[in-house]
Amino acid sequence: MSLLWELTGKSGSISYLYGTMHLQNDSAYTFVDQIKEVILTKLRFYGETDIDGLRNNAELSQHYLLPNNLTLIDAVGIKKYAKWKIRVAKHFGVNLDDFKRFIPFYIYNNLQVSLLPKSNKLPLDGYLWDFAKANNREVVGLETVDQQMETLSGISLSYQYQQLAAFLKMPNQSKKRVEYLSKHYEEQHIHKLYAASKKDIGGLRSLLLYSRNRRMADTILKTLDIPSVYTFGAAHLSGEKGIIHLLKSQGAQLKPVSM
């Protein structure tokens, strides 16, 4: 399979889909030169979300804070917090005190990114967004910042604490998992990326994967008259409820592009 797909709408206009990763390691950047060439062939670029909105929204940090001025110590207790702090410093090189006011989901994401070398200045999705802007492409988000925050609010804090605890319990396995995903990204195994992501999020598949796939596919279908490059996390490409299948079911023609 491929991370890059040519998409032909009913009017005959040609666009492209590309699966990205929110990582800064070299595996994420494997095909960066090829996709940059593709971006330059179209006047509009779509990211998974409005990255400028994420960067410039001063109120956004409030969504990542625990409610009622609580801290992680209040939630898990001082003994467990002390153990977590030692483990986080040892395995991730991070001071947990810097994150103690944040929701577990935010902590989890930051720690996960720290597991791999940051060989590049930005995560791939952010880099491609900036590249498109620098080359005078119109940049748009497939999802709005508000939609992403609404999705985040649908994840209960109790579930987030469970996920963070499981992540910190076996940090070496967590690193192997991220390396596994990076390897399959580099090898363009979109089905394995989908299967691994679906397994990881368990009962949140509908919220984090399926409903977002439908929302992004709907946006793509509504905008096909303007040839564009659509980019989003690679795990959203494959599967019976993946974006490729959803687009095909609505009459769009897709074919993988060799890279």
Per-residue pLDDT in tens (0 to 9) along the chain, 259 residues: 799 999 998 788 899 999 999 999 999 999 999 999 999 999 999 999 999 988 887 677 788 999 999 999 999 999 999 999 999 999 998 999 999 999 999 999 989 888 888 899 999 999 999 999 999 999 999 999 899 999 998 999 999 999 999 999 988 888 888 899 999 999 999 999 999 999 888 888 999 999 999 999 999 999 998 999 999 999 999 999 999 999 999 989 999 999 8
User: Within a 10 A sphere around the Cβ of 172, how many other Cβ atoms?
Assistant: 9
pLDDT of amino acid 21? 94
pLDDT at 84: 96
pLDDT at 104: 95
Question: What pLDDT, on the 0 to 100 scale, is given for residue 130?
Answer: 98
Per-residue CA distances from 244 to 162, 169, 230 (Å):
32, 36, 12
190: exposed, middle or buried (Cβ count in 10 Å: 0-12, 13-18, 19+): buried
pTM, whole model, 2 decimals? 0.93
In whole angstroms, what is the distance from residue 61 CA to residue 94 CA?
19
Give CA–CA dist 230/47, Å, rounded: 6
125/229 Cα distance (integer angstroms): 13
The pLDDT of residue 258 is: 92
Residues 68 and 105: their CA atoms lie apart, in Å, by 17
Check residue 58 and report its DSSP letter. Answer: T
* Cross-strand bridge partners of residue 14: 8
* Burial (CB count <10 Å: 0-12, 13-18, 19+), residue 80: middle
Rounded Cα–Cα distance for residues 168 and 59 (Å)? 29
Is 186 exposed, middle or buried, given 0-12, 13-18 or 19+ CB atoms closer than 10 A? middle
Q: How many residues does the chain have?
A: 259
- What pLDDT score does 190 carry? 96
